[in-house]
Amino acid sequence: MESKVFDHEFFMTESDLFSLYSSGGLEKTILMFKGLLTQDILVVLAEMLSNNLSNDPRQKTTKKMFSIFVELAQNIHRYSSEKFMVENKEVGSGIVLVNEFKEYFTLISGNVIENSNLVKLQTQLEFINTLDEEGLKNYRKEKLKQKREVGDKGAGVGLIDIARKASRQIELRVKQLDNDKSFISFYILLEKEF
């Protein structure tokens, strides 16, 4: 009979796992998740994040973090093209990563979308990134007053809300996978407010 001894070749090395766990040194990973972002998981992760920070005097930062995280996660839930049925509901899959640095946090989210939705997203984000505080406020109001597009469960204001809370412009990176699909990722920076 073939022996079932442990074979390292099947796994990443222990140091790979540790470097992922401790992620370098400068930053500290405080949250890492890949998979289906069901509402239950989203709630647990969001609460975990705010509990992690709430002993902190930076209440304001905690609230902003919670809010940016929820918008990113709900974007994945709604717009990821990798969808699966969970308890009769379609749930999107993706990845979220929150890192803490000395003076700021970074939030990164990623998921696959159809290339047909890419241009609309890029155009919207480019426009949002040109707006200042007042511009964002007015654009948000305009969006809230607009009629919803058929089938859209979001409000089209998620990115605007992220932009208003983030300390820098939102960066969108796109990696085209094939003719139909791309992997997109959002990079958000949130400075700690003391």
Partner 1 sequence: MQALNIEETKFTMKIDFDPITGFCSMDGNSYPEDAISFFEPIVDWLKDYISQVKGPVKLRIRLNYLNSSSSKCFMDIFDTLEDYHVAGGDVFVEWVYNEDDDEIHDSGEELLEDMSFRYEFVVEND
Catalog residues that contact partner 1 under the rule CB under 8 A. Answer: 39, 42-43, 46-47, 59-60, 63-64, 66-67, 70-71, 74, 77, 89, 137, 140-141, 143-145, 148, 153-155, 157-158, 160-161
Nearer to partner 1, 29 or 81 (CB): 81
Which CB contacts under 8 angstroms, 24+ apart, belong to 69-72?
Answer: 69/45, 69/96, 69/98, 69/107, 70/42, 70/46, 71/158, 71/159, 71/161, 71/162, 72/96, 72/107, 72/109, 72/162, 72/186, 72/188
Nearer to partner 1, 34 or 137 (CB): 137
Give the nearest distance from C-beta 93 to partner 1 in angstroms.
14
Distance CA(50)–CA(11), nearest Å, equals: 33
- Going by C-alpha positions, the residue among 79, 108, 89 that lies closest to residue 39 is 89
Give the nearest distance from C-beta 19 to partner 1 in angstroms.
34
Give the nearest distance from C-beta 37 to partner 1 in angstroms.
9
Give the nearest distance from C-beta 144 to partner 1 in angstroms.
5
Nearer to partner 1, 36 or 182 (CB): 36
Tell me how many helices (H) and strands (E) the chain has. Answer: 6, 6
Nearer to partner 1, 63 or 181 (CB): 63
